[in-house]
Chain A
Amino acid sequence: MREFFVPTRINWLHRANPAVKLPLFILLFGVTVLTHRIDASFYLACVFLALLFLASGYPLWKTALLASGFALAFASASLTMILFGKGSEVWWSLGPISISKESFYRGLHLGFRSIAFGCQGLLFVLTTSSTGLFYALMQRLKLSPKYAYSFMASLRLMPMALDELRIRRDALSVRGAGRGSSASLLRLPELYALPLLAQSIRRAQRTAVAMEVKRFDAGSRRTYYYSSPITRNDGAAFLVLAGAAAAALLLAHLLPLFALGDMRMNP
């Protein structure tokens, strides 16, 4: 599992400082949310999907596998709107379902935006290591080491909790618990939560004590193993990401496919 998430190619986006990258991506999220024209959302989805495949540094099949989830996001975001949305120009209707021109395009618009959103998020996650992110946040954005190291420690504990979940499942199956009647279905959360939580709390407490024994003190001055400098890569990341967003908006203006107005009004 760990090996799966090691990029095969390292590029400027990986080397960019996460403390710069994070605000940049938050800005991009903002742009995506505030896009109300279907042409713009369509091009945003296209451009960031392309960027995801080009810049994530992962082999094509892995990126495709990860991005395949977007199909679901697209379907779930758009179908409800398409089938049940309001609109004046009704194309087809059956009982509560009515597909109108407005609802159809609004649905597509929602779908495109969710793809754009997903691509941006995945691009950030795939190009940023958690350790790098927290080191950058501590050094550049003055995040308290207390939170940063607790997050990093908890990330380390996650695979152990997963292993234990598997063991608990096996143990329950050996004992024949947790299957059969619906009453035992209701007991499932209890059956899993108690041993797993008990174990996790004990482990977290031990880890915390071990960290303090190593003189971890959130208040005192500390040095950093990894420096987190601002480099040319950050400039490159800024230019490319801003360029991508600008290109999408420009394309929407120059080559509108749908040529519809603001989706919040009547398109």
Chain B
Amino acid sequence: MRSTVEANVPVPVLKDAAKPGQPADKEPAQTQDRVGPSREEEEGTAEYAAEVRNLRMKFPGTPDLLFRDLSLNIRRGEKVLLLGPSGCGKSTLLQVLGGVIPRVTEVPLKAELLQVPDSAGLVFQDPDTQFCMPYVDEELAFVLENLAVPAEDMRPRIGQALRQVGLELPDPHVPIGSLSQGMKQRLALASVLLLEPDVLLLDEPSALLDPEGRRTIWDAVRRAAGERTVIIVEHRIEEVLDWVDRVVLFRGDGSILADGQAAEVFARCRDRMREYGIWHPEAWNEAYGEPAGEAALAQPGAYRAGGVLEPEEAAAPGTGPARGRSAAAPVHPAAESAAALPLLRLENFRVLRGGKSVCAVQSAAVLPGDLIALTGPNGAGKSSLLLGLMGLLAHEGSCEYAGSRPSGRRAMREAAAKHAAFVFQNPEFQFVTNRVLDEVAFTLRSEAESALNASHSGAFARWFPRRRPRPDAGAEALIAAQASACLDRFGLGGYAERHPYLLSLGQKRRLSVASAIVSDKPLVLLDEPTFGQDARNAFAILDLCERLRASGHAVLMITHEMEIAERLATQIWKIEDGALISAESTGRSPTAALRLSKEEPS
């Protein structure tokens, strides 16, 4: 049933590390806090589904060992959650336990005892990269083919696996591309269930899913797990916390900080969890305090300053049903009283893709100091709206940027470039240079160039551009100074010389925001800025947005996170089926004071 690999792949890089035989090495490098019942180590190994003793490994090209004498036993049938900060090696350990390392991916490792289950099923984070076939049934059949199951037995087993994960398809011959991300993850789960694994390993299966997808995948896991051993690596633990038997919390260096029952570990190491950016159920409350809603809701009149919210509408900010009135004429609370000119005003605005309207907005306005949460199901047209606003997609109707109304796509793009900054979901796609400092300076430089160019902007100049006038040395120095000041502000000062691709995930995200807003554009558009980020990075980004908002910018962000909408947004725009169906004010005014998360961004 099980294979035992002893002292696997001894590698020269490890030879300077202390030899396993030395007495000093017998003791664990780090003391381990054992909360909960101590494990009966003397019991036979048959008790364990997986066992690792004194594991050391090292990725080529990195200076440090990833694990230094890590020992971990996982008993049969146990549901274990591995937690820790990004980069602590949880996912790597999961791949070791799943037999991927070193069988598939060769990584130098050494262990006194490494016993991994014979049949393990691994579900990965990214829903798009786990399949090799175009159709659902073919993908599941691929697994059965690998197991040499006779062709005539395949269809019933495919149907059974799909039912197990709650993916009821009348005909499984459906293109995988037509499934939602959440359905794809359930398909990935179904395909590993076909392996009939003793151990189910889940590597952040819900990190890239929207709330609905998260709920369904965990439902499916619970249903399908049964008596199996389940080992989970996850940053968002609300959905799994009440289900796991045991939580193992890792330190940043890959050693075990705590190991025990969920509630105990949670109670003991709450501060550490916050520091590690783990999305625990209280994360939002810890960062922003109890929802302001409760207090404010007691007297709905309190924020009727703008005179537009009806009491019962105010009673349920963000969660109330869409109201026709507010969709037809969303009046901003401050629009009537304050003289603030809207940064952006849309009337009968439609974004077109291939001649068809993909997102229609009857009427909407963005004021300085607004933080607007753009919500709605996937594929409803949220991203298209942002692309339309930037002039990257064709549009009909009127769109006013700070009073000027560009006509045509080109004029729109120029107006948008002047007034709005756009932050894409994948920061890498936005990088254009090879140095972090240049990345920020690039925006400033091209801005300076286009200002110089503005003098001759006729049709002739458009087709026959003169040599681009270069900013002179003085301007260049100013740009460099501005750019490095901006990097400091975003906590990237120490990385100015680095290649943008070599930053960590959170740093990349911050850099993409920094390079977008360095030239002080009044409107910032963001496409799911907190998506797939750990809590620490997410709060750091939200603090950035909130600072921008409080300094008189407007922020328009696509998000699935209702907590953002409820705690920070001044307006919630809901988009469904290609139309803005409601634009409601949450009661938070654009002049509201800064509300930062309690954690300092590193």
A155-B134, A160-B128, A206-B124 known; A174-B146 Cβ under 8 A: no
Q: Which residues of B contact A152 (CB under 8 A)?
A: 132-134
Once bound together, how far apart are the Cα atoms of A225 and B131, in whole Å? Answer: 16
Q: Which residues of B contact A181 (CB under 8 A)?
A: 465, 467-468
Q: Which residues from 136 to 157 on chain B have a C-beta closer than 8 Å to any C-beta of chain A?
A: 137-138, 141-151, 154
Asked whether, in the complex, the Cβ of B177 is within 8 Å of the Cβ of A214, the reply is: no
Interface hit among A29-37, A75-83, A120-128, A215-223: A215-223
- Interface: B429 (CB within 8 A): yes
Once bound together, how far apart are the Cα atoms of A190 and B133, in whole Å? Answer: 31
Q: Name the one of A173, A203, A209, A216 contacting B100, with C-beta atoms under 8 angstroms.
A: A209
Q: Name the one of A175, A206, A214, A222 contacting B195, with C-beta atoms under 8 angstroms.
A: A214
**A145 CB to nearest B CB, Å:** 9
Q: Per-residue 0/1 for B420-434: is the Cβ within 8 Å of any A Cβ (1 yes, 0 no)?
A: 001010101111100
Asked whether, in the complex, the Cβ of B130 is within 8 Å of the Cβ of A227, the reply is: no
Once bound together, how far apart are the Cα atoms of A221 and B428, in whole Å? Answer: 42
Q: Name the one of A156, A171, A217, A225 contacting B154, with C-beta atoms under 8 angstroms.
A: A225
Asked whether, in the complex, the Cβ of B134 is within 8 Å of the Cβ of A131, the reply is: yes
- Interface: A189 (CB within 8 A): no
Chain A residue with Cβ nearest B450: A176
- Interface: A66 (CB within 8 A): no
Asked whether, in the complex, the Cβ of B100 is within 8 Å of the Cβ of A213, the reply is: yes
Q: Which residues of B contact A222 (CB under 8 A)?
A: 145-146, 148
Q: With a 10 A CB-CB cut-off, give which of B422, B432, B467 has the most chain A CB atoms.
A: B432
- Interface: B413 (CB within 8 A): yes
- Interface: A95 (CB within 8 A): no
Q: Which residues of B contact A176 (CB under 8 A)?
A: 417, 446, 450
Q: Which residues of A contact B390 (CB under 8 A)?
A: 170, 174
Q: Which residues of B contact A168 (CB under 8 A)?
A: 429
Asked whether, in the complex, the Cβ of A180 is within 8 Å of the Cβ of B129, the reply is: no
Asked whether, in the complex, the Cβ of A198 is within 8 Å of the Cβ of B428, the reply is: yes
Chain A residue with Cβ nearest B101: A209
- Interface: A224 (CB within 8 A): yes
**B136 CB to nearest A CB, Å:** 12
Q: Which residues of A contact B100 (CB under 8 A)?
A: 209, 212-213
Asked whether, in the complex, the Cβ of B134 is within 8 Å of the Cβ of A215, the reply is: no
Q: Which residues of A contact B424 (CB under 8 A)?
A: 167, 170-171, 174
Asked whether, in the complex, the Cβ of B141 is within 8 Å of the Cβ of A225, the reply is: yes
Chain B residue with Cβ nearest A150: B132
Asked whether, in the complex, the Cβ of A167 is within 8 Å of the Cβ of B429, the reply is: yes
Asked whether, in the complex, the Cβ of A214 is within 8 Å of the Cβ of B133, the reply is: no
Q: Which residues of B contact A212 (CB under 8 A)?
A: 100, 103-104
Chain A residue with Cβ nearest B103: A212
Q: Which residues of A contact B134 (CB under 8 A)?
A: 131, 152, 155-156
- Interface: B279 (CB within 8 A): no
Q: Which residues from 383 to 437 on chain B have a C-beta closer than 8 Å to any C-beta of chain A?
A: 387, 390, 392, 413, 417, 422, 424, 426, 428-432
Once bound together, how far apart are the Cα atoms of A173 and B142, in whole Å? Answer: 41
Q: Which residues of B contact A164 (CB under 8 A)?
A: 429
Q: Which residues from 469 to 515 on chain B have a C-beta closer than 8 Å to any C-beta of chain A?
A: 501, 515
- Interface: B364 (CB within 8 A): no
Asked whether, in the complex, the Cβ of A210 is within 8 Å of the Cβ of B432, the reply is: no
Asked whether, in the complex, the Cβ of A223 is within 8 Å of the Cβ of B133, the reply is: no
Asked whether, in the complex, the Cβ of A177 is within 8 Å of the Cβ of B442, the reply is: yes
Q: Which residues of B contact A235 (CB under 8 A)?
A: none
Asked whether, in the complex, the Cβ of B465 is within 8 Å of the Cβ of A173, the reply is: no
**A200 CB to nearest B CB, Å:** 10
**A222 CB to nearest B CB, Å:** 5
Interface size classification for chain B: 35 or more
Asked whether, in the complex, the Cβ of A175 is within 8 Å of the Cβ of B442, the reply is: yes
Asked whether, in the complex, the Cβ of B148 is within 8 Å of the Cβ of A171, the reply is: no
Q: Which residues of A contact B450 (CB under 8 A)?
A: 176
Q: Which residues of B contact A160 (CB under 8 A)?
A: 128
Chain B residue with Cβ nearest A154: B132
Q: Which residues from 156 to 215 on chain A have a C-beta closer than 8 Å to any C-beta of chain B?
A: 156, 159-160, 164, 167-168, 170-178, 180-181, 191, 194-195, 198-199, 203, 206-215
- Interface: A142 (CB within 8 A): no
- Interface: A149 (CB within 8 A): yes
Asked whether, in the complex, the Cβ of A227 is within 8 Å of the Cβ of B151, the reply is: yes
- Interface: A9 (CB within 8 A): no
Once bound together, how far apart are the Cα atoms of A84 and B287, in whole Å? Answer: 77
- Interface: A153 (CB within 8 A): yes
Once bound together, how far apart are the Cα atoms of A83 and B426, in whole Å? Answer: 52
Once bound together, how far apart are the Cα atoms of A160 and B501, in whole Å? Answer: 20
Q: Which residues of A contact B455 (CB under 8 A)?
A: none
Q: Which residues of B contact A224 (CB under 8 A)?
A: 145, 151
- Interface: A264 (CB within 8 A): no
- Interface: B126 (CB within 8 A): yes
- Interface: B249 (CB within 8 A): no
A2-B175, A152-B133, A176-B417 known; A195-B146 Cβ under 8 A: no
Q: Which residues of A contact B465 (CB under 8 A)?
A: 180-181
Q: With a 10 A CB-CB cut-off, give which of A160, A164, A178, A223 has the most chain B CB atoms.
A: A223
Once bound together, how far apart are the Cα atoms of A174 and B130, in whole Å? Answer: 32
**A158 CB to nearest B CB, Å:** 11
Q: Which residues of A contact B142 (CB under 8 A)?
A: 149, 211, 214, 216, 225
Q: With a 10 A CB-CB cut-off, give which of A160, A212, A217 has the most chain B CB atoms.
A: A212
Q: Per-residue 0/1 for B85-119: is the Cβ within 8 Å of any A Cβ (1 yes, 0 no)?
A: 00000000000001010011100000000000000
Q: Name the one of B103, B129, B154 contacting A206, with C-beta atoms under 8 angstroms.
A: B129
- Interface: B443 (CB within 8 A): yes
Q: Name the one of B129, B195, B429 contacting A171, with C-beta atoms under 8 angstroms.
A: B429
Q: Which residues of B contact A172 (CB under 8 A)?
A: 432
A209-B105, A214-B142 known; A173-B392 Cβ under 8 A: yes
**A155 CB to nearest B CB, Å:** 7
A176-B417, A216-B146, A223-B151 known; A149-B429 Cβ under 8 A: no
Asked whether, in the complex, the Cβ of A213 is within 8 Å of the Cβ of B446, the reply is: no
Q: Which residues of B contact A213 (CB under 8 A)?
A: 98, 100, 104, 120-122, 192
Asked whether, in the complex, the Cβ of B422 is within 8 Å of the Cβ of A217, the reply is: no
**B395 CB to nearest A CB, Å:** 15
Chain A residue with Cβ nearest B439: A175
Q: Which residues of B contact A195 (CB under 8 A)?
A: 428-429, 431
Q: Which residues of A contact B515 (CB under 8 A)?
A: 175
Asked whether, in the complex, the Cβ of A156 is within 8 Å of the Cβ of B432, the reply is: no
Q: Name the one of A198, A209, A210, A227 contacting B501, with C-beta atoms under 8 angstroms.
A: A198
Chain A residue with Cβ nearest B465: A180
Once bound together, how far apart are the Cα atoms of A211 and B192, in whole Å? Answer: 10
Q: Which residues of A contact B589 (CB under 8 A)?
A: none
**A27 CB to nearest B CB, Å:** 29
Asked whether, in the complex, the Cβ of B148 is within 8 Å of the Cβ of A211, the reply is: no
Question: Which residues of A pack against B, CB within 8 Å?
Answer: 2, 131, 149, 152-153, 155-156, 159-160, 164, 167-168, 170-178, 180-181, 191, 194-195, 198-199, 203, 206-217, 220-227
A-B contact pairs, 17 of them (CB 8 A): A2-B175, A131-B135, A149-B142, A153-B133, A155-B134, A174-B422, A175-B446, A176-B450, A177-B442, A177-B446, A181-B468, A210-B124, A212-B100, A221-B148, A223-B150, A225-B144, A225-B154
Contacts A175-B442, A225-B141 aside, 18 further interface pairs with beta carbons under 8 A come to: A131-B134, A152-B134, A171-B424, A174-B422, A174-B430, A175-B432, A176-B446, A181-B468, A195-B428, A195-B429, A212-B100, A213-B98, A213-B120, A213-B121, A216-B146, A222-B146, A225-B138, A225-B154
Report the 6 A-B pairs with minimum CB-CB distance, sorted nearest first: A225-B141, A153-B132, A206-B129, A210-B130, A177-B432, A215-B146
